Copies of this chain bind each other. A is one copy, B any other.
Amino acid sequence: MPTERNGAGSRETADLVVAGAGVIGLACAWRAAASGLDTLVLDAGATERASEVAAGMIAPVGEAVWGEEPLLAAAAASAEAWPAFAAELQAAAGCEVPYRRCGALHVGLDRDEAAELRRRRDLHGELGLPATWLRGSECRRLEPGLATAVAGGFDAPGEAEVDPRPLLVALRAAAAAAGARIEEGMAAVRVVVTAGRVAGVELADGRTVDTPRLLAATGARMGGELLPPDVRPPIRPLKGEILRLRAPPGERPCERIVVTERVYVVPRAGGEVVVGASVEERGFDLRVRAGSVHELLREAYRALPDVAELELVECAAGLRPTTPDNAPVIGPTAIDGLLLAGGHHRNGILLAPITAEAIALELAGAQLPEVIEPLRAERFSRPLQEMGA
């Protein structure tokens, strides 16, 4: 029940407040509302929402780098969950979720790049990921638009993409259809903790919502003042610039995701072509640097010369919510009822299904999935508590 009398004034209540209406917050809110919890989503607005500018690659093979194996296991599990997640979401929302298993082709634009790529391919072999090594001419047979400079690469046919903007629309519709209330233009500013457990949430307009549970899904802002210092995860904004281009019908520069050492190109069914992304430590800065746009266009053109003929529709910047180990923080904290789902770095869209599943299990009092264990929110807060003790 959203509002109840409590003494003199009326007080708002919820079983669960979700702070943040990006892909992670909405996916968790959808699952929670569907499980019967009275769920209130606080949507602070789209300006800083990484989901709005994300490329939407569902590409665990592309993410495989040395030293991040725990993240990779979760990424692989979530990628596997994506087709069913998309189908279920589409049915629940009544609108399209344009998930597409288009595959990805990683290419080296000279012999050095190809040699480096081949070493990464060997890591994939060790990790059991499907990826086939190809000579340059074989790459160009798969993607005739590739530059003749391509010296080799590997094919990862299981990689996929989803346009995050219709995805956000669908998640919002599904959450609402499941009974979640979504308050637009309203930020959560402080969690109210009483005797070690969540009692409520203060909102930007001065109201307080009484709730026993808060899920913080506030992206790059999750290191801010919403949470008490002891459980505040070390999340920082990692700026990325990204371009949206448009190809005329039937004239996409590639059929698969094409990835080089410096750029990726994601073609969508409707003709949109996404080129990303820069990586810059600049704090909460959403300005698009001319130099970044120049480099993205140059590198996309080096790989796929036809990109030059596309229409440039949008240059945007986003803030990847990033932890020290590049893996997200998912699950409970030392404060009873306070859950975190954030720090997804460049993998928020990819990890949305497994993140929502983990939060739903936690809310139901069940065990987190095994692949989520290394990503528990508590891994960063524990040492801080010890220091404070």
Contact = CB atoms under 8 A, between A and B. Distances in A.
Interface of A: 243, 245-246, 287-291, 293-294, 297-298, 300-301, 307-313, 315
A301 B311 contact: no
Contacts of A312: 288-290, 293, 315
B289 A310 contact: yes
A308 B294 contact: yes
A138 B377 CA distance: 60
A290 B315 contact: no
Given A294-B294, A315-B315, A289 B309 contact: yes
Contacts of A301: 290-291, 294
B287 A308 contact: no
Contact of A290 (B287, B290, B291, B307): B307
15 contacts: A243-B290, A245-B290, A288-B312, A289-B308, A289-B310, A289-B311, A290-B300, A290-B311, A291-B297, A291-B307, A291-B309, A293-B297, A293-B312, A294-B294, A294-B298
A243 B311 CA distance: 14
A293 B293 contact: yes
Nearest to A241: B312
A365 to B, nearest CB: 49
Nearest to A296: B294
B290 A297 contact: yes
A298 B290 CA distance: 10
